Each structure stands twice: as C-alpha cells, then as structure tokens.
C-alpha cells in the first residue's frame, strides 16, 4: 500500500507529458521560470496542480551536487541554552530553502567523529556546530573536504572555517571582576563540566586571583542539581557570600535551595547565572546573569552559512558577538516594583 502509493507519485516526466512539453521545460518552469514563455509556464504550472506533483529534492540534489540541507551538531537537543539558536537557525535557513537536520554528539564527545561521518553521508551543503569541533582529526577531515563549517557559541583563532560567538574566558573574568568590584571575598562556583563552562571557570579563577570552592556537575546542569550544588558549597564554606553558576537553570536551583534554607538573596548570598534565559528577569529575586544573544548567533550563523553556500567570500570569519552582565536583584540591584 505504502509502496504502491509511493510508486504512483507523479514525476516531472508526468508533469511534462500532461503539459505537452519536454522534461527539461517542466524542470525550468520550477527552477528558472524566467526563461520560459508565459504560456508554456502557465501550462506547466497547471499540470503541476493537476498531477499533484511534489518535486524530488533528492534526485535534483544528486545531479546538482547541492542537497539544500545543513547539518547541525549539538551536544543534546534539549539543552535550553542552544534553543534560541536552533530556532533562528532553522528559520533563517528555511527562508532560503534549506533544511536543517540535527545530530546529537553527546557531552562526552566520543561520538563526535562518528556522528560527523554519519551526517556527511547525507551530503549536507554545510555544517553548523554548537560549540567548537573538539576532535583534531575531525577538524582536519572537514577542512580537507572543504565543507563549509560554522562553529558557534565560542571563539577561536583558528576555526575550521567560520566561527560566530564570544569568549568564554572573558565571560569568566568579567564575572570575577564584577564579584571583586562588589567586595565579595568568599565566593564559590557551581558549574557544568562541558568545555565552554570550563573555560569560563578558568577565566574566573585567573581574574579572581586564587582558587575558590567549586562544585562541578555533569552537563547539562538544571534546577534540581542546582539545589544539591548549593548544599555542597555550603559544606565547603558555610560563610560563602556569592556564587557564580554556569547556567540560569542551575542558578535557579541555588535560589530555590537558598530560600529553602532561609538564606536571603542577596543579603546572605548573592547569585549570578549565565545565559539570560527567558525566566531570569522574572524570578524573585530577579537573577543577575550573563546575557548572550543566542537568537542572534543562530541568525548570523545561518547568514554566514548561506553566503558560504553561494560562494560569497566571507570577510570576517571570526565574529565576536560579545556578552554583557545583566545586573539584577540576586546580586543586590535595587529595582522599582514590577507591574
């Protein structure tokens, strides 16, 4: 039944016959309508309607060597952090006729190389990565193949091809600087163990000037582990004044656990997150965090990829979109009542 129906699907050949033109004329009516006379064009389009023709991009792509697909590599699809990026990436590519397909490399990166090969088998016209490709072998391979690659959510002097993001090292040192400016001495860190969070940690410690109590959890972090993380940090230092968390969900867990323990935020404990998730501004107290424009990363990544696919030269292959610390109540910012 399925098979039978599939075999019945009209091809461009059927359309051409129905319209009384040659195959190629029918083809042009869809891909390059400008060159046809109005009458033939109209006849073909009518035939498309009548036959219920749906183009076969697989066949077209085989010949033209352009699949009109882009592969996307993410650690895990459900990481909230990357969602706005995936959304705008999908939308921008879609508007240009490209389809994004996603693959999960997992946070241990062991699957990275195999995954890339699996995806390459579908002949994507390009690859967008959340983060940097870590395997040197995979980087070499991609460079050698000449596939357009846009790495995101990070920065590198030596991207495979193009990179659009920001410096996690700088984020870390900016937060440390902020904490220092507040005069906080006894601080702690609750962080996921992924590469980018580790870089922020490194930047923080370098700028802070000394080691601080740290709880490291397997990425991705969330509210539940945030609660446990605060418990652990308080064991390490009961008089801790401020905590930097590697995600807003993580930070929210710290807020909840603080409330549970009767700690006032920010008086007893200040909290800073990362990412500026949609809820951060609306928590009680509102959450100080590092704002990153994930949606813009997706848009820029898509645009760069589209340029790359069109063969347009890319002037600046390293795009730093920056970040900013958004100060809110959880680190002591006074605000007017909302609403």
What single-letter DSSP state applies at residue 321? -
* Smaller CB separation from a copy of itself, 132 or 230: 230
Residue 35: count of CB within 10 angstroms of its CB: 10
Range in contact with DNA (rule: CB under 7 A) among 10-18, 132-140, 151-159, 276-284: 10-18
Structure tokens at 144: 């050698």
Q: Which is nearer to a copy of itself, 1 or 34 (CB)?
A: 1
145 binds DNA (CB under 7 A): no
Instruction: Name the minimum Å distance from CB 42 to DNA.
Output: 10
- The CB-of-147 to a copy of itself minimum distance in angstroms stands at 7
Cβ proximity to a copy of itself, 141 vs 324, nearer residue: 141
- Taking the complex as a whole, the smallest distance from the CB of residue 297 to DNA amounts, in Å, to 31
Counting residues that bind DNA (by CB under 7 A) gives 29
Q: Closest distance between a copy of itself and the C-beta of residue 256, in Å?
A: 5
Of residues 21-50, which lie at the interface with DNA (CB under 7 A)?
21-25, 27-28, 30-31, 35-37, 39-41
Q: Which residues contact 224 (CB under 8 A, 6 or more apart)?
A: 253
User: Which of 42, 49, 50, 56 contacts DNA by CB under 7 A?
Assistant: 56
Total number of residues shown for the chain = 339
Smallest gap from Cβ 233 to DNA, in A, equals 54
Q: Which two tokens stand for residue 285?
A: 């107290």
| Binding residue (CB under 7 A) for DNA from 1, 2, 4, 63 | 63
With helix as H, strand as E and coil as C, how does 85-144 read?
Answer: HHHHHHHHHHHCCCEEEEEECCCCCCCHHHHHHHHHCCCCCEEEEEECCCCHHHHHHHHH
156 forms part of the interface with DNA (CB under 7 A): no
Report how far residue 171's alpha carbon sits from residue 245's, in angstroms, rounded to the nearest whole number.
12
The interface partner of residue 25, options being DNA, a copy of itself, none and the CB cut-off 5 to 8 Å by kind, is: DNA
Among 5, 48, 49, 62, interactor with DNA by CB under 7 A: 62
Residue 317 and residue 159 in contact, taking contact as beta carbons nearer than 8 Å:
yes
Reply yes or no: is the peptide bond before residue 266 cis, omega within 30 of 0: yes
User: Would you say 62 or 259 has its CB closer to DNA?
Assistant: 62
Q: What number of other Cβ atoms are within 10 A of residue 1's Cβ?
A: 5
């Amino acid at each position: 039944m399925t098979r039978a129906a599939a075999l019945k699907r009209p091809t461009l050949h059927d359309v051409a016959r129905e319209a009384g033109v040659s195959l190629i004329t029918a083809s042009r009516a869809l891909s390059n309508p400008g060159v046809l006379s109005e009458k033939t064009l109209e006849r073909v389009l009518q035939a498309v309607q009548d036959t219920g023709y749906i183009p076969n991009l697989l066949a077209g792509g085989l010949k033209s060597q352009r699949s009109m697909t882009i592969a996307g590599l993410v650690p895990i699809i459900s990481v909230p952090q990357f969602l706005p990026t995936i959304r705008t990436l999908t939308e921008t590519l879609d508007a240009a006729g490209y389809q994004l397909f996603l693959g999960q490399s997992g946070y241990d990166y062991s699957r990275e190389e195999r995954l890339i090969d699996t995806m390459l088998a579908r002949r994507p016209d390009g690859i967008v990565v959340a983060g940097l490709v870590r395997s040197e072998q995979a980087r070499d391979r991609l460079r050698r193949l000449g596939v357009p690659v846009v790495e995101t959510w990070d920065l590198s002097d030596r991207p495979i091809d193009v990179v659009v993001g920001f410096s996690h090292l700088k984020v870390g040192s900016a937060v440390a600087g902020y904490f220092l400016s507040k005069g906080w001495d006894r601080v702690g860190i609750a962080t996921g163990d992924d590469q980018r969070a580790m870089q922020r940690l490194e930047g923080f410690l370098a700028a802070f000037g000394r080691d601080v109590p740290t709880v490291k959890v397997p990425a991705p972090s969330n509210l539940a582990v945030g609660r446990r993380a605060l418990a652990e940090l308080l064991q390490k230092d009961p008089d801790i004044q401020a905590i930097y968390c590697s995600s807003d969900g993580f930070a929210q867990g710290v807020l909840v656990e603080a409330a549970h323990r009767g700690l006032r935020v920010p008086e007893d404990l200040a909290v800073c997150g990362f990412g500026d998730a949609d809820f951060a501004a609306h928590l009680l107290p509102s959450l100080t965090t590092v704002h990153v424009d994930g949606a813009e990363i997706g848009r820029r990544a898509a645009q760069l990829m589209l340029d790359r696919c069109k063969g347009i030269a890319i002037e600046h292959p390293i795009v730093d979109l920056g970040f900013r610390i958004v100060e809110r109540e959880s680190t002591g910012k006074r605000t007017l009542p909302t609403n």
